[in-house]
A and B are shown apart, each in its own frame.
Chain A
Amino acid sequence: MDFDLSTGLAELVGSPPQQSVVDVAAAVRQGRSRRRRRRLGVAAASLAFAVGVSGLALALPGQGHGVTAAAPTTTAPADLPPDTGHDPLTTEVQFGWLPDWARGSDGIGYSADYQGPSPQAFAMVRGNPARGFSELRLTLLPAGQVPDATKLNGRPAQRSAAPQVNGGTAYWLTPSADPRLPTDEHALRWLTSSGRWAELQGQWGEDAGATAVVLRVAAGVTYGKWAVPLPVRLTGLPADFKVALATLAPSMNGSDWTVAVAMTVGNSLVTINVGPSLPLPPSGSPYPGKSIHNGGYPGAPGCISQAGLDACVDSPPGYETALQAVGGVHGVADRLVLLGGDRASWTTEVTN
């Protein structure tokens, strides 16, 4: 049986289940704001600098390399508890000072990849594109690993001098961008006092205001070993279930968040996605509605709803064999306890 792919794709988009909420007028308003932000970047940054960086010795690019970005006196948005070994999501870095668009702790996410080609963990803060930033990702490289100063995300990049960060060598990295596209991916790398390299990566403008913000964020980073509270408990799984990846990601618009945990057991894979509850799709709709669950939706097999949150447990076809010992995805879902959307009720004793 042959299937006409082009026709099938056209049919998929032919009958949207709801009206578009794309707002051209809003695009104009926000676009104007971004243009203003770009034009006024230098002046605004200078003013913010003078007002808000009391006691902070921070150099703008091109003003000499002997001036150092020092740690600000402000504290982290929220100190994380120490790692107790029962949380699948741990971090070695915390943001200190962040600009107001970061929305404090609610705008910060973390990710830990334990089984990748080069396991790593990082913290991120979702930004506000209208304020010149869409995301900042903070990574502490493994001990002994020296980053390639000629590449950023595998693409050829240009290195340029940056002021020191807390006395450590630092440099900027900018990829060779397609000038026809509005891409602003950059990185700041610096040597920490422990001898490990750290990196802040994201999309920001090249004006002095943006780089000053990045330098101040870098100077405020703290290092250690912490556990990230999660809105879920998961108990009773056999010891051969190994966490492959865990992430707490704020949404792009900052209004909510998603937690994802991937575990392997033998050749099997199980993923757990947790997020705030969303409305059920209309009865009879062929579309499951907005999915925060990696293809799942409230009421789907392996999905549960508790305390205002939804969670879906999934295992790709062909990967679920070893899950049968615990009752498949349903068995894993039965072991979940969701703690609600109030972060004060979240726990680091996830698997205890």
Chain B
Amino acid sequence: MAKPKRDAEFIEFASTRATWLRGVAYLLCADWHRADDLVQETITKLYVHWPRLARVENMDGYARKALVNTFLSEQRSPWERWRARWQAQELPDAPVFAPDLDASVDLREALAALPPRQRTAVVLRYYCDLTVEQTAEAMGCSTGNVKSQTSRGIDALSRRLLAGPATVAEGVV
């Protein structure tokens, strides 16, 4: 009897959170199809571990963390790793990223151009409204790392979105 009850609880949780998770996933990956895949994989993982998640106090936070983990795990593909390294300008003699003054460069494109961990930090801080500590917990890294990733992400967004020096302010680019 316990199993059907647990399944019903899971179905209710997953059904009511799928749209929210899909939005977060889209901001992370910039692709609605892939966002569906990320959410599908995330809720499948949640189901596998569901019996022992009964004592988790913040299930939404747990689900979001599982989503972030799934997304970042995918970034281990060689191409994504290489792109992230290039965009982090670790190659020698890489020129400074030039500000793009084209008005057609929108937030979606600017966000998609960020390296995965910078993008994740920005989304968790500014879309999910998490604190630095909560973001560090979700990303599995230090608060210092969250601050630097967020700062670099905001700076890169500013340069792509604005014609002028970067303006970094809490909540406002």
Residues of A that sit less than 8 Å from B by CB: 1-6, 8-10, 12-13, 16-18, 20-28, 30-32, 34-35, 38, 111, 113, 115-117, 122, 124, 129, 134-135, 178, 180-183, 203, 244-245, 247, 249, 252-253, 258, 260, 262, 264, 267, 269, 287, 290-291, 294-295, 316-319
Question: Considering only CB atoms, which chain B residue lies closest to A292 in the complex?
Answer: B31
CA distance A18 to B32 in the complex (A): 8
A249 to B27 CA separation, bound complex (whole angstroms): 23
Task: Give the total number of A-B pairs whose CB atoms are below 8 A apart.
Answer: 169
Q: Could you tell me if A22 and B82 are in contact, using CB atoms closer than 8 angstroms? A: no
Are A27 and B14 touching (Cβ within 8 A)? Answer: yes
* Subset of 9 A-B contacts with CB under 8 Å: A13-B127, A16-B22, A21-B36, A31-B47, A129-B41, A183-B69, A249-B77, A317-B98, A317-B100
* A30 nearest in chain B by CB position: B44
Q: Is the CB of A20 within 8 A of B36?
A: yes
A133: min CB distance to chain B, Å: 13
CB pair A269 B86 closer than 8 Å? yes
B23 contacts across to A, CB distance below 8 A: 13
Which residue of chain B has its CB nearest to the CB of A6?
B126
Tell me the B residues contacting A by CB distance below 8 Å: 7, 10-11, 14-15, 18-19, 22-24, 26-27, 30-34, 36-37, 39-41, 43-50, 56, 62, 65-66, 69, 73-74, 76-79, 82-83, 85-87, 90-91, 93-98, 100, 107-109, 111-113, 122-123, 126-127, 129, 140, 154, 157, 161-162, 167, 169, 171-173
Residues of A with C-beta under 8 A to B76: 135
Which residues of B are found within 8 Å of A1, using beta-carbon distances? 162
Q: Tell whether, in the assembled complex, residue B95 and residue A318 are in contact, meaning their CB atoms are under 8 Å apart.
A: yes
Complex Cα spacing A2 to B10, Å: 42
Asked if B37 and A249 make an inter-chain contact with CB atoms under 8 angstroms apart, the answer reads no
Known: A18-B32, A22-B22. A116 touches B85 (CB 8 A): yes
Contact present for A2 and B172 (CB under 8 Å): yes
Q: Please report the C-alpha to C-alpha distance between residue A318 and residue B14 in the assembled complex, in whole angstroms.
A: 44
Add 4 more A-B contacts to A22-B18, A290-B32 (CB < 8 A).
A4-B172, A129-B41, A129-B44, A291-B31
CB distance from B112 to the nearest CB of A (A): 6
CA distance A318 to B167 in the complex (A): 21
Q: How far is the CB of B70 from chain A (nearest CB, A)?
A: 9
Nearest-Cβ distance from residue B95 to partner chain A, whole angstroms: 5
State whether B48 touches A31 (Cβ < 8 A): yes
Chain B residue with Cβ nearest A181: B69
Q: Which 7 residue pairs are nearest across A and B when measured between Cβ atoms?
A: A31-B47, A111-B78, A318-B98, A13-B23, A9-B127, A27-B44, A27-B43
What residue of chain A has the Cβ atom nearest to residue B101's Cβ?
A: A317
**Is the CB–CB distance between B62 and A180 below 8 Å?**
yes
The interface residues of chain B lying within 8 Å CB-to-CB of A5 are 107, 122, 126, 154, 157, 171-173
Within the assembled complex, what's the spacing in Å between the Cα atoms of A6 and B172? 8
Nearest B residue to A2, CB-CB? B172
Contact with B107, one of A12, A17, A18, A26 (Cβ below 8 angstroms): A12
**Chain A residues with CB below 8 A from B97, complex form:** 316-318
Q: Given A116-B85, A287-B32, does the pair A267, B18 have CB atoms closer than 8 Å?
A: no
CB nearest neighbor in B for A264: B91
Could you tell me if A290 and B78 are in contact, using CB atoms closer than 8 angstroms?
Answer: no
Alpha-carbon distance A291/B108, docked complex (angstroms):
13
Q: Which residues of A have CB within 8 Å of B94?
A: 267, 319
